[in-house]
Amino acid sequence: MPSKETKPKEVKPLDKEDFSKNIRLIVDCLFEMDSSREEITSIVNKLNSTYGIKKPIIRSVAAIRHKHSKEETEVKNKEIAELINLCS
């Protein structure tokens, strides 16, 4: 089978302004992420203290909803339950 030869990717000389602008954009995004983490923690704490739901459960529910993976999670949990029953 012939090997595919790949051309080295051409790179441009560093444009200091463009590079700096994009680094600032990344830093701004990182600040937004930090702020979002703090807000999420605040909401999780509120739900925990109000309803007594464990924090990992709250985060798991939110992650499942975020990733739209309810069905995948249900299948995984069913498989885990089946294996646990085998060990009983």
44's torsion region: left (phi>0), alpha (psi -120 to 50) or beta? alpha
- Give per-10-residue mean pLDDT for the chain (88 aa): 75 94 96 96 98 95 85 85 86
**pLDDT given at position 66:** 84
**pLDDT given at position 54:** 97
Those residues whose C-beta lies under 8 Å from the C-beta of residue 62, and which sit 6 or more positions away, are 40
Distance from C-alpha of 44 to C-alpha of 32, rounded to nearest angstrom: 18
**pLDDT given at position 1:** 56
Alpha helices in the chain (DSSP H): 16-51, 55-67, 70-87
- The answer, as to whether pTM is greater than 0.75, is no
Tokens of 1: 């089978």
